[in-house]
């Protein structure tokens, strides 16, 4: 359910006002907030966000409680969007999950990260590999015009435990078809460049299994109707849990891809989905 927008003047330093909150499952939600006028970032980067901590029992002083969050909105959006897990005993997300439109969050306006187009050499096809909330940077990159000007084909894979956890990503992808900016800048039908491959591991769905296993057996390539990954054509970005990142890194290197960075662009990049 989407909550109504209500913008108040922020009172905390580095504070931004929440404009919208959307709950997807009992473990996942997204929210939007105002964007500092001075904040410039590249689609795919992350920032530190959070809330004021509880007052120290002795001094009564409060310190901000911050965590790294990928910005899920694209660089051109006038607001910022984030996609978060809810951890019942997590220091931040146990509280963050209760935010409402009009509340304040703290945002340190220093964007960083490696899941950026600048960290990859030119290629024909880009793969975005996500698990769970690791979809967030790709929610930004999928709404970024450069993704479609740089690549002929865009493949997004999303592996989650349960079907409900795919909803945020599925919604972002569905909404791309009517995205005014992308249709205008890239041209109508740009979304035909996208191949979306959602899979679940612990609940029945049309495609079951871990993406790593589905690639190892060749099933994923067959389903997608594409040739296996090769360093001449393919570029990749990885964002998921640690075990997934490590396993996929190894697989991509077997295919001949090499890890890049902002300072040295190569053929794939990786970032951990930050969990509470
Ligand atoms: P699985 O259910 O088989 O563990 P989590 O919620 O734990 O972060 O996991 C998100 C998704 O990532 C789950 O579907 C999980 O599958 C999958 N996953 C976990 N580890 C790996 C891995 N090493 N390779 C591929 N997928 C993984």
- Ligand 1 neighbours, Cβ below 6 Å, are 131-132, 159-161, 201-202, 210, 212, 240-241, 243-244, 247
**Index of the ligand 1 atom closest to the CA of residue 243:** 23
**pLDDT score for 54:** 84
Find the 99 Cα to ligand 1 centroid distance in Å.
28
Cα 180-181-184 angle, rounded to 5 deg: 85
Q: Buried b / exposed e across 220-255, counting CB within 10 Å, b at 16+? A: beeebebeebebeebbbbbbbeeebbebbbebbeee
pLDDT by residue for the chain (276 residues), tens only, comes to 444 455 555 556 799 999 999 999 999 999 999 999 999 999 999 999 999 988 888 988 888 999 999 999 999 999 999 999 999 999 999 999 999 999 999 999 999 999 999 999 999 999 999 999 999 999 999 999 999 999 999 999 999 999 999 999 999 999 999 999 999 999 999 999 999 999 999 999 999 999 999 999 999 999 999 999 999 999 999 999 999 999 999 999 999 999 999 999 999 999 987 765
Best mutation site among 130, 160, 165, 244 for ligand 1, i.e. most ligand atoms within 8 A of its Cβ? Answer: 244
Q: Please state, in angstroms and rounded to a whole number, the distance separating the CA atoms of residues 169 and 156.
A: 10
Q: Order the strands of the 153-160 sheet from edge to edge.
A: 194-200, 153-160, 125-131, 234-240, 268-272
For the four alpha carbons of 271, 121, 249 and 204, in that order, the dihedral sign comes to positive
- φ, ψ (nearest 5 deg) of residue 81: -125, 145
Distances (CA, A) of 85 to 11, 45, 133, 189: 26, 18, 7, 33
**pLDDT score for 107:** 97
Cα 232-132-167 angle, rounded to 5 deg: 105
Q: Please state, in angstroms and rounded to a whole number, the distance separating the CA atoms of residues 143 and 131.
A: 19
**Index of the ligand 1 atom closest to the CA of residue 246:** 23
Give the domains, in start order, of the chain with CATH numbers. Answer: 15-112 (2.40.30.10), 117-270 (3.40.50.80)
Find the 28 Cα to ligand 1 centroid distance in Å.
16
**pLDDT score for 56:** 86
pLDDT digits (tens, 9 = 90+) for 44-74: 999 999 999 888 889 888 889 999 999 999 9
Residue identified by tokens 């029992």 is 57
Best mutation site among 131, 209, 243 for ligand 1, i.e. most ligand atoms within 8 A of its Cβ? Answer: 131
Find the 157 Cα to ligand 1 centroid distance in Å.
13
Q: Are strands 104-112 and 15-23 parallel, antiparallel or unpaired?
A: antiparallel
């Amino acid at each position: 359910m989407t909550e109504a927008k209500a913008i108040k003047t922020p009172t905390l330093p580095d504070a931004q006002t929440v404009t919208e909150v959307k709950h997807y499952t009992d473990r996942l939600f997204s929210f939007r907030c105002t964007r500092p006028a001075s904040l410039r970032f590249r689609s795919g980067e992350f920032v530190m966000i959070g809330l004021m901590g509880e007052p120290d029992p002795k001094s009564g002083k409060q310190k901000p409680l911050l965590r790294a969050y990928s910005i899920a909105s694209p660089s051109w959006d006038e607001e910022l969007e984030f996609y978060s897990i809810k951890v019942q005993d997590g220091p931040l997300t146990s509280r963050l999950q209760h935010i409402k439109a009009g509340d304040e969050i703290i945002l340190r306006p220093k964007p960083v990260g490696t899941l950026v187009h600048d960290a990859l050499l030119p290629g024909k096809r880009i793969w975005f590999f996500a698990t769970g909330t690791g979809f967030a940077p790709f929610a930004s990159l999928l709404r970024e015009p450069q993704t479609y000007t740089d690549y002929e084909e865009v493949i997004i894979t999303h592996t989650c435990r349960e079907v409900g956890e795919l909803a945020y990503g599925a919604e972002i992808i569905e909404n791309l078809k009517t995205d005014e900016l992308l249709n205008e800048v890239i041209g109508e039908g740009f979304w035909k460049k996208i191949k979306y491959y959602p899979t679940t591991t612990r609940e029945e769905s049309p495609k079951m299994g871990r993406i790593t296993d589905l690639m190892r057996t060749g099933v994923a390539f067959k389903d997608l109707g594409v040739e296996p990954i090769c360093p001449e054509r393919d570029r990749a970005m990885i964002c998921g849990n640690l075990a997934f990142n490590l396993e996929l890194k190894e697989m991509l290197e077997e295919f001949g891809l090499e890890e890049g960075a902002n300072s040295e662009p190569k053929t794939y990049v990786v970032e951990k989905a930050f969990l509470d």
